[in-house]
Structure 1
Amino acid sequence: MRFQGAQVAAGLMSVLPGAQALLRFSCSQLVVERLDPLVNPGVVGSPHLHQIIGGNAFNATMDPAKLDIPGTATCTTCTFADDFSNYWTAVLFFRARNGTYHRVPQKGNVFFEQAKGGMTVYYTPTLTGGKVTAFKPGFRMIVGDPMERTAAGAAKYRQLTYTCLQNSMTRTGETKNLPPKPCPAGIMANIRFPTCWDGVNLDSPDHASHIAYPTSGTFESGGPCPSTHPVKIPQLFYEVIWDTTAFNDAAADWPTDGSQPFVWSYGDATGYGTHGDYVFGWKGDALQRAMDQNCQNDRCSGLGSQSLQQGNQCTVETTVDEQIDGWLEELPGGMAVTDASGKVIY
């Protein structure tokens, strides 16, 4: 389902007040498995489980010197058919009182309910005018740190948050930690990437040093880029809705001490370690054209599009043979859950 008429205005005001233009579109789930071509290139069975969306060129290695992503991919889960990029995050689990784990399902975002899980992806040009430079072939980046377990440590990632959804349109009350109470319509993870680039490096050893946040304020407030990273890039933003509603009976199912029961696949029960990964794969200059012409939502003149149903059909075969569904004795990969000191909690 596409935005139309009043839905456009209502949707924009609820998610990005003041925005003049943006791409907002759905990407269904491509695959869920333990692969991470940025942090663990070439490893089949990376330490923790990820959910990946985008083009079907995704694989364990994705060497930028050897892989032409839009030239290799034959389909994409995104509704913009020119976007063969890959986007991924960790996976949320529910931990029962008996110590077993169950993967939390995802659901499509508002107006994209027919998507097969996945995410809603945003690319927003500057909100205060001026040129924004689209990502280049070979560009990749990470935001967040799965090792973080404290509010102080997570503070350096300014806009990695959660929304406890009261209904499908809730867009207020963001927190840095996982919500401590049941959320009537699920938990939305909000992952906003830095918006300044050094203008030279398509990647860096930590996949983050070549990008930076504005020196003050945020992208939305028009904060200036630092001199070390002077080039404004689009704000890339993921919304991922985890359908936690099956686990909302706190009296019967949550820990007896009142703590929240959700755990990330990398062993984090706080939420402070949330993170996101990105590998650029738009065809030709499609993304730059979209940024230059101030496109609106999931429609943009000159860009190819496809239906949600078509995107749902794009998949890749899993390469890691393991159980990830049903009730599990441990997190996939045997990942332990740790606290701020690195001590294993369970």
Structure 2
Amino acid sequence: MATRLNRSTLVSVLVVATALALVALGLSAIANAGPGAADAAPEAAGKPAAASHVAQGHAMAPAKPVAFGDDPDGDGYIPAEPPVTGVEPSDEIPPHRYFHEFQANCSVNHTAPDDPIVYPGRAGASHDHTFMGNDTTNANSTTASLGAGGTTCLAPGDRSAYWMPTLYNGNEEVRPIGPQTIYYKAGVTDYRTVRPFPKGLRFVVGSPTQTAEEFRNHPGMVEGYECGESYHNYDFPAACPTSRDTQLNLRMQAPSCWDGKYLDTPDHKAHMAYPVVMGANQDVCPPSHPVALPMIEFKMAWPVNGDMSRVRLASGTGHSFHYDFFNAWDDATLDALVDHCIVGALQCNARGYDENNPGEGAALDENYELPRP
């Protein structure tokens, strides 16, 4: 019996040793063949190759706070200095005015796989983004670097960074053409209480991982994707009219109530909130986020139509749309526009001029700058 056990053990040892030798030889062959061999192996075995980030969405590594730039301790919290305290949300109903807004008209200036909010200091870590406004935005951007940058917004004082996932038709990048409309509105009923963004405030609207249902029910959703007479699409429509002036459009609003404490939080959202409905159906900031700020609304237009079956975002399907905002306005310029147009209840263009109320004048001059004394 002992002899049989020894023989069995010997056979097992030989089998294991042979298998290990074969594995070692296989790994050595792959290593000697170069980096392309391992990538080709799944395809050679009849398995599909990894999907291109252009067509299917780039799978990003989980984002964890890191010590960089405006967040030197790397905990994900960037305190407001000084914080805004002692604010009570207003539930008063002001004189009725239909409009209280102005526009920031900003053109696309570059695309890159960077995201200075979600992946600060990590160039290439994100899916591809399309950037508007500040022309220096990259993974290393900080409040100070944006303040020293240029801009493709009509107002030179708007050096803020705006970005969203890049849109592709097949493998072809599709960029919005010309200045895009970015509204600054009152998100609360008492528009008189809206104050300018603090310098360095940043946040993300939506999520690249949201489902179609979450996208549809997002509190910032306006009408989904639009083209021609097709509205309320929460993924890309199958087709759009092929007329020259038909584009793919989307409008989405940002939260406009701030906690007054942080310019950013680890999830890039918790310091902001949407107004809640209270009292006589008015929109009021919640007590946890009592400071009313302008409500940003992206109104994007991509020059793509016809067959939409190959249209994708760098982040994935149509319902993965989201956008980022990093405030770097010149303080005095933003103050003037908020006071004149939002608090003043006007429908202003990028100069802070309401064509329907010419007697109210403009916040900025013909060069979109503050008038000189």
For the criterion TM > 0.5, the same-fold answer is yes
Pick one of 202, 206, 215 that aligns with 1:144: 206
The equivalent of 1:8 in structure 2 is none
Q: Secondary structure of 2:233's partner?
A: coil
Q: Distance in 2 between matches of 1:44 and 1:203?
A: 20
The equivalent of 1:182 in structure 2 is 240
Q: Distance in 2 between matches of 1:21 and 1:160?
A: 18
Cα distance, 1:48 vs structure 2? 0.9
The equivalent of 1:26 in structure 2 is 105
For structure 2, the 5+ residue unaligned runs are 1-96, 353-361, 369-373
Pick one of 222, 244, 261 that aligns with 2:310: 261
The equivalent of 1:46 in structure 2 is 125
- Relative distance call for 1:102 and 1:77 in structure 2 (3 A) is same
* Higher helix residue share: 2
Q: Secondary structure of 1:293's partner?
A: helix
CA contact (8 A) 1:22 1:124 kept: yes
Pick one of 160, 168, 171 that aligns with 1:93: 168
CA contact (8 A) 2:223 2:231 kept: no
The equivalent of 1:121 in structure 2 is 182
Alignment partner of 1:209 is 2:270: yes
Pick one of 170, 173, 183 that aligns with 1:103: 173
Question: Please, what is the CA RMSD of the aligned residues?
Answer: 2.5
The equivalent of 2:328 in structure 1 is 281
Q: Secondary structure of 2:204's partner?
A: strand
CA contact (8 A) 2:182 2:296 kept: yes
TM-score by length of 2: 0.62
- Relative distance call for 1:26 and 1:153 in structure 2 (3 A) is closer
Q: Distance in 1 between matches of 2:238 and 2:366?
A: 39
State the structure with bigger RCO (CA 8 A, min sep 6), 1 or 2: 1
Cα distance, 1:19 vs structure 2? 3.8
For structure 1, the 5+ residue unaligned runs are 1-17, 96-100, 108-114, 255-259, 308-346
CA contact (8 A) 1:42 1:60 kept: yes
Number of equivalenced pairs: 252
Pick one of 351, 354, 364 that aligns with 1:299: 351
CA contact (8 A) 2:351 2:363 kept: no
Cα distance, 1:274 vs structure 2? 0.9
| Equivalent AA in structure 2 for residue 179 of structure 1 | P
Cα distance, 1:68 vs structure 2? 5.3
Pick one of 264, 286, 296 that aligns with 1:226: 286
Pick one of 254, 279, 297 that aligns with 1:237: 297
Cα distance, 1:161 vs structure 2? 4.8
Q: Secondary structure of 1:216's partner?
A: strand
Cα distance, 1:240 vs structure 2? 1.3
- Relative distance call for 1:183 and 1:206 in structure 2 (3 A) is farther
Cα distance, 1:205 vs structure 2? 0.8
Pick one of 261, 269, 272 that aligns with 2:319: 272
* Superimposed CA distance per residue, residues 176-199 of structure 1 (whole angstroms, 9 cap, x where no aligned partner): 332233244121121210111112
CA contact (8 A) 1:81 1:304 kept: no
* Superimposed CA distance per residue, residues 103-126 of structure 1 (whole angstroms, 9 cap, x where no aligned partner): 22423xxxxxxx2xx521111135
When Rg is computed on C-alpha atoms for both structures, the one with the higher figure is 2
- Relative distance call for 1:303 and 1:281 in structure 2 (3 A) is farther
* Identity across matched positions, percent: 25
Cα distance, 1:150 vs structure 2? 2.8
